[in-house]
């Protein structure tokens, strides 16, 4: 098969497609996403936040707010900033975490960094004057920047942390959402923006015996440095003399494996499907480059990345990394002028890229059998591509063993350790790098119920699939804005999508407040037209997902029927961003229906 990896001229696309299908078949399971379990019930200890005060208490809050933002990650922060800029003062925040930061609050595992260039991934760099110290910044630096944003735009003053929203009920008389939380709060908000994150509910595999493990164990998003010692830079002195196991080799696994290998006596990596791991090429920020930046640089750079990763050559490749060089393959572009993808050209680019990823493994990993086990056989975008300059090298260490489960996964967990192929590996620490829920039902992922006009719940409203305008609003749920991937634009770098969405939402809210508008929601026609556009892309997306090895991208190989309408907008990032910018520039009120503010609401 390696002969198929020699370059475009000699590549045997048919043989590769057959190999991909064989590998996929090994991994398909009838229980699909049902193989995972949430961190509740007998596994609820896994949900404990190691960074928050477990004894924290406060009196319940009862108040009105003009805007309530649920979630203090990048989406919520950007929403807060844009609302402030639009003159909205009364903004409350609620977050389960102990601070702002979202992903970067929770994910503090060793080695954590962003996998998109930080100069375009980290928001508001020009506004704050902060420049990340490296091309791919450490998690701690990004987390600190989240706090910087919250301080600079004065968002802490009405923030309720360690608090989970439980329910949102629309009160038609008051034209407000009555929002209740697990700390007994009741906030009557005129507008709600829900930014609960795209990958924020950790999940554990339903491996038999998981609850019996008697050693130490945690999910990567709840790293316990109290046990391991050290910090995200490594030096985990608590692991001296300890046998450590990691289950999961996705983006998180490939980042935490190298520092674990340095600190543990022995590290076992339990692999079900190998990740694609390309060159990272991280480097410190060049002060001369920083000094050369001129106004508008971040947005320009971000657009450049969006174009290149949409398959459109757009001047110089400013980022020039493993994401953008998909276009450097000798295939020509794979996107039309507006970024609509040519599936055949894309397939060729992906196969060539994966060939190079496999060749790289041979050039780094000394042991032949280990190298073969580490080779990924699926289309490049079937899973989130990974990048690392030390992950593959880690398998050359004498204290690291790759336990390849041949696509079947870990067999069993016992009080002493992990069983694969009938052999038990005894462990002191077992780390679950097993990811997060992704695009499941809104209630399951957000953790709260939403009841709109007429007592209809969002789950009922979407029972046959989602219905939205731009993936942001849904009819019957006035003054409620969502930031998720459902029917929304999608891009490799989520940041421009979050920026465009929050600018659009803030404009609607500011217009509504100044124009004495009591409720705003999509018109029936506009919502139907948007759902129609999403559904028109369903067959192509379905075909791609059906060809992919199981992962969270394709609901572990068994996408439910509702996925057709729950999928992201198929027109591509360039078109979606252009559309939102156009709408906002025109005042943002097109395609919406409004009612005037009534007396009870203004009182
Ligand atoms: O989670 P994942 P993640 N036995 O779902 C394995 C973002 N992110 O936390 O591939 C053995 O990708 C499972 O195996 P398989 C990013 O968007 C970004 O790594 O399903 N193994 C897989 O290897 C990313 O995509 C950054 O066969 C089992 C792993 O667990 C997303 O978060 C950093 C198993 C889960 O991988 C999620 O990444 C981190 C079993 N029974 C995360 N069950 C950066 O920005 C599951 N697995 C750098």
- Beta carbons of 466 and 486 less than 8 angstroms apart: yes
Which pLDDT tens digit goes with each residue over 364-419?
999 999 999 999 999 999 999 999 999 999 999 999 999 999 999 999 999 999 99
1 pLDDT band (50/70/90 cuts)? very low
Mapped onto helix, strand or coil, the DSSP state of residue 560 is: coil
From 275, 419, 434, the mutation candidate for ligand 1 (largest count of ligand atoms within 8 A of CB) is 434
Mean pLDDT for the chain? Answer: 93
328 pLDDT band (50/70/90 cuts)? low
Q: Which residue has the higher pLDDT, 598 or 519?
A: 519
pLDDT at 2 over 60: no
Share of the chain above pLDDT 90, in %: 80
> Rounded CA gap, 166 and 154, in Å?
26
Average pLDDT over residues 242-262: 98
Which residue's CA is the closest to the ligand 1 atom numbered 20? 551
Q: Which residue has the higher pLDDT, 263 or 442?
A: 263
The response to whether residue 409 sits with its C-beta less than 6 Å from ligand 1 reads yes
Which residue's CA is the closest to the ligand 1 atom numbered 4? 409
Distance 383 CA to ligand 1 centre (A): 9
> Rounded CA gap, 405 and 415, in Å?
20
> Rounded CA gap, 578 and 354, in Å?
31
The response to whether residue 380 sits with its C-beta less than 6 Å from ligand 1 reads no
The response to whether residue 434 sits with its C-beta less than 6 Å from ligand 1 reads yes
**Is 203-275+383-432 the same fold as 62-201+438-602?**
yes
Which one is the CATH code of 203-275+383-432: 3.30.200.20, 2.30.110.10, 3.50.50.60, 3.40.640.10?
3.50.50.60
Look-up: residue for tokens 């260490």?
A: 397
Q: Pick the atom of ligand 1 nearest to 407's CA.
A: 27
Which pLDDT tens digit goes with each residue over 101-120?
999 999 999 999 999 999 99
Mapped onto helix, strand or coil, the DSSP state of residue 436 is: strand
Which residue's CA is the closest to the ligand 1 atom numbered 47? 248
5 pLDDT band (50/70/90 cuts)? low
Q: Pick the atom of ligand 1 nearest to 552's CA.
A: 5
Average pLDDT over residues 524-535: 96
Q: What is the pLDDT of residue 3?
A: 46
C-alpha distance across the termini of the chain, in Å = 72
Which pLDDT tens digit goes with each residue over 265-313?
999 999 999 999 999 999 999 999 999 999 999 999 999 999 999 888 8
Residues 6+ apart with CB under 8 A from 447: 96, 164, 165, 166, 196, 201
The response to whether residue 139 sits with its C-beta less than 6 Å from ligand 1 reads no
Which pLDDT tens digit goes with each residue over 192-244?
999 998 777 899 999 999 999 999 999 999 999 999 999 999 999 999 999 99
Which residue's CA is the closest to the ligand 1 atom numbered 15? 273
pLDDT at 77 over 80: yes
From 271, 435, 550, 551, the mutation candidate for ligand 1 (largest count of ligand atoms within 8 A of CB) is 435
Look-up: residue for tokens 């410190």?
A: 284
Q: In Å, how far from its chain's centre is CA 151?
A: 24
Q: What is the pLDDT of residue 602?
A: 59
Distance 269 CA to ligand 1 centre (A): 13
Per DSSP, helices labelled H in 51-138 are 74-85, 103-106, 118-121, 125-128
Which residue's CA is the closest to the ligand 1 atom numbered 11? 409
Q: 41-50, 73-82, 251-260, 442-451: which range is least confident on average? A: 442-451
Distance 294 CA to ligand 1 centre (A): 38
Q: How much is the pTM?
A: 0.95
The response to whether residue 273 sits with its C-beta less than 6 Å from ligand 1 reads yes
From 138, 201, 248, the mutation candidate for ligand 1 (largest count of ligand atoms within 8 A of CB) is 248
Look-up: residue for tokens 């019957």?
A: 476
The response to whether residue 114 sits with its C-beta less than 6 Å from ligand 1 reads yes
Which pLDDT tens digit goes with each residue over 429-487?
999 999 998 766 777 777 899 999 999 999 999 988 899 999 999 999 999 999 988 99
Distance 499 CA to ligand 1 centre (A): 26
Q: What is the pLDDT of residue 510?
A: 97
Backbone phi, psi, residue 376, to 5°: -85, 140
The response to whether residue 252 sits with its C-beta less than 6 Å from ligand 1 reads yes
Which pLDDT tens digit goes with each residue over 10-24?
678 899 999 999 999
Q: How is domain 62-201+438-602 classified at the architecture level of CATH?
A: 3-Layer(bba) Sandwich (3.50)
Q: Where do the DSSP E strands lie in 49-163?
A: 62-70, 91-94, 159-160
Look-up: residue for tokens 């780390």?
A: 431
Distance 56 CA to ligand 1 centre (A): 32
Average pLDDT over residues 111-136: 98
Share of the chain above pLDDT 70, in %: 95
Query: Of how many residues is the chain composed?
Result: 603
| Cα distances (angstroms) measured from residue 179 to each of 64, 140, 147, 166, 477 | 10, 32, 25, 8, 14
- Beta carbons of 202 and 39 less than 8 angstroms apart: yes
Domain boundaries, the chain: 1-12+311-373, 62-201+438-602, 203-275+383-432
pLDDT at 336 over 70: no
């Amino acid at each position: 098969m390696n002969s198929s990896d020699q370059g475009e001229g000699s590549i045997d696309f048919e043989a590769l497609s057959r190999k991909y299908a064989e590998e996929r078949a090994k991994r398909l399971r009838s229980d699909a996403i049902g193989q995972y379990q949430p961190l509740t019930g007998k596994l609820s200890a896994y949900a404990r936040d190691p960074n928050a005060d477990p004894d924290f208490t406060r009196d319940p809050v009862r108040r009105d707010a003009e805007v309530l933002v649920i979630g203090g990650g990048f989406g919520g922060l950007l929403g807060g900033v844009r609302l402030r800029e639009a003159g909205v003062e009364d903004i409350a925040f609620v977050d389960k975490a102990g601070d702002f930061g979202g992903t970067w609050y929770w994910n503090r595992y060793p080695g954590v960094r962003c996998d998109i260039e930080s100069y375009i991934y980290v928001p508001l760099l020009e506004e704050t004057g902060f420049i990340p110290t490296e091309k791919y910044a450490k998690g701690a630096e990004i987390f600190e920047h989240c706090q910087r944003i919250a301080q600079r735009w004065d968002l802490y003053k009405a923030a309720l942390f360690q608090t989970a929203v439980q329910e949102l009920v629309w009160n038609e008389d008051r034209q407000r959402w009555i929002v209740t939380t697990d700390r007994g709060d009741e906030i009557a908000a005129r507008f709600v923006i829900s930014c609960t994150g795209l990958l924020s509910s950790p999940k554990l595999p339903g491996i038999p015996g998981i609850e019996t493990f008697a050693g130490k164990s945690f999910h990567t998003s709840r790293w316990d440095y109290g046990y391991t010692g050290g910090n995200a830079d490594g030096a985990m002195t608590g692991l001296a003399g300890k046998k450590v196991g990691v289950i999961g080799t996705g983006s998180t696994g490939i980042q935490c494996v190298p520092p674990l290998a340095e600190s543990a006596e022995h590290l076992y990596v339990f692999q079900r499907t190998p990740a694609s791991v390309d060159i990272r090429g991280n480097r410190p920020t060049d002060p001369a480059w920083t000094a050369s930046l001129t106004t508008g640089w971040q947005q320009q750079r971000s657009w450049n990345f969006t174009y290149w990763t949409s398959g459109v050559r757009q001047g110089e490749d400013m980022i020039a990394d493993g994401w953008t060089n998909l276009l450097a393959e000798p295939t020509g572009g794979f996107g039309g002028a507006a970024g609509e993808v040519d599936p055949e050209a894309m397939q060729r680019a992906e196969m060539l890229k994966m060939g190079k990823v496999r060749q790289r493994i041979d050039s780094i990993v000394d042991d032949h059998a280990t190298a073969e086990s580490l080779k990924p056989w699926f289309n490049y975008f079937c899973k989130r591509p990974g990048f690392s300059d030390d992950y593959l090298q880690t398998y050359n260490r004498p204290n690291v063993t790759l336990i390849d489960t041949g696509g079947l996964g870990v067999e069993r967990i016992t009080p002493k350790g992990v069983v694969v192929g009938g052999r038990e590996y005894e462990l002191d620490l077992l780390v679950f790098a097993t990811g997060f829920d992704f695009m499941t039902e809104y209630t399951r992922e957000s953790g709260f119920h939403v009841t709109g006009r007429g007592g209809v719940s969002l789950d009922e409203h979407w029972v046959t699939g989602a219905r939205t305008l731009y993936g942001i609003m849904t009819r019957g749920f006035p003054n409620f804005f969502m930031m998720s991937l459902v029917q929304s634009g999608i891009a490799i770098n989520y940041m421009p999508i979050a920026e465009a969405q929050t600018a659009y939402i803030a404009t609607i809210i500011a217009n509504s407040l100044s124009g004495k508008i009591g409720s705003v929601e999509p018109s029936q026609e506009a919502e139907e037209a948007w759902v129609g556009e999403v559904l028109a892309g369903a067959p192509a997306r379905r075909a791609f997902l059906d060809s992919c090895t199981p992962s969270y991208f394709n609901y572990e190989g068994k996408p439910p029927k509702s996925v057709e309408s729950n999928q992201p907008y198929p027109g591509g990032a360039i078109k979606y961003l252009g559309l939102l910018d156009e709408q906002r520039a025109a005042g943002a009120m097109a395609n919406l229906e409004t009612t005037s503010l009534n007396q009870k609401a203004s009182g």
